[in-house]
Amino acid sequence: MGVLIEVDWLVVGAGLSGATFAERAANVAGARVLVVERREHIGGNAFDANDEYGVRIHRFGAHIFHTSSVKVWDYLSRFTAWLPYVHRVVAEVDGVSLPVPVNLTTVLALVPGNAGERLRERLIKAHGAGSSVSVLTLIEHPDPDLRALGELVYEKIFLGYTMKQWGRRPEEIDRSITGRVPIIVSHDDRYFNDQFQGIPADGYTAMVDRMLRHPNVAIETGVDYREIVDQVKFRRMLFTGQVDELFEGKHGWLPYRSLQFENIRIHVDRVLQTAVKNFPGAEPFTRMIEHAHFSPMRRASTLITAEYPQRYVRGMNEPYYPLLDRESRQLYRKYAEEAQRIGDRVVLAGRLGKYRYLDMDQAVAHSLAIFENHVLRSSNSYPSARLRTGLDLWA
């Protein structure tokens, strides 16, 4: 087959990781970039689009941008204005909506009266006002009353949600995941406490489109990179897909978790008190998302999306979350070693490429760092670098 295009970088994936790198490589380094995306759209899991009523829908789950990095915020602000938005979440517990992550307000609702007040004071004394402590740490606490509080929170809020989301008990999962849901020792009910929080004013898809809008950037959507990799000559590849698929599963397939979405149309303005409501109980879904909350605009109809976690099956559904435990970390290390053996010809990026949970700001920061390390500081100039295709990529 003939060569379709010659580029400096082949970028696999048009999510935030791939778009950030492609934009920097084209705009700053003058590199020629081909972005290949298996889905029919850009934006990755942050893809959004307006429905027939004008409500912007987050098609693959709620995406709230938050960061404490001035560098990341300023970078993305070149491509979007922001709608002010502070994310708050409640959980349905015994028929009552309680703030999550669990804070002192939640504690006083779970343990009312003087007993709750005593626990509040003990938490503050033991850990300090404004601090956070993981549920798994609290259930090992030397104070028996705080240990009992940890066990109550574990049973009422943490256990059911975790088992539905991950298909495992919390103690069977890497603490980098379970530690993301702490108990907050304050009455602050914000889900995130980062300095910068917001929703792109025109949506994530529009923001990514602006990032990729450069004469040096070509985009192919609805195409698996494996279908064209032997038809493209490129010097290097940024790979944001599943790292085990890059190496054709030679060491075994990594585990992931997937999601199924069910949309519910209701012809009223809004239904839920917050954009996201968690359900740690017996319901088969983990949460409901009401997309209307992401915009100040009022509409005549609202869409609520229920999320049903499920096992990832190759070729059947999407891998949304790496399932981290000791065995999967060991397996990933084998693939990371494979990537090291092929040197700088392929650079791994993103949640699937690095096989770890990355928030959106972390994905952007990581791609900015890759650009600085592998392009700006590289002595391998584009004119002298050898062109290669998929046929000789691993040679």
pLDDT values of the chain reduced to their tens digit, one per residue, 395 residues: 456 789 999 999 999 999 999 999 999 999 999 999 999 999 999 999 999 999 999 999 999 999 999 999 999 999 999 999 999 999 999 999 999 999 999 999 999 999 999 999 999 999 999 999 988 889 899 999 999 999 999 999 999 999 999 999 888 888 777 766 789 999 999 999 999 999 999 999 999 999 999 999 999 999 999 999 889 999 999 999 999 999 999 999 999 999 999 999 999 999 999 999 999 999 999 999 999 999 988 888 999 999 999 999 999 999 999 999 999 999 999 999 999 888 778 999 999 999 999 999 999 999 999 999 989 877 554 543 455 555 455 44
| Beta-carbon contacts of residue 8 (< 8 Å; ≥ 6 apart) | 25, 31, 32, 33, 234, 235, 236, 382, 385
Look at residue 387 in the predicted model and tell me its pLDDT: 53
pTM equals 0.92
Tell the CATH topology of 5-82+198-251+324-376.
Rossmann fold (3.40.50)
Look at residue 385 in the predicted model and tell me its pLDDT: 45
Portions of the chain given CATH number 3.40.50.720: 5-82+198-251+324-376
Q: Rounded distance, CA 211 to CA 21, Å?
A: 10
Look at residue 395 in the predicted model and tell me its pLDDT: 47
Look at residue 1 in the predicted model and tell me its pLDDT: 41
Q: How many CA atoms lie within 13 A of 25 on its CB side?
A: 33
Let me know: does 3 contact 233? Beta carbons within 8 Å.
yes
- Whole-number Cα distances in Å, 225 to 1, 20, 80: 15, 19, 29
| Beta-carbon contacts of residue 283 (< 8 Å; ≥ 6 apart) | none
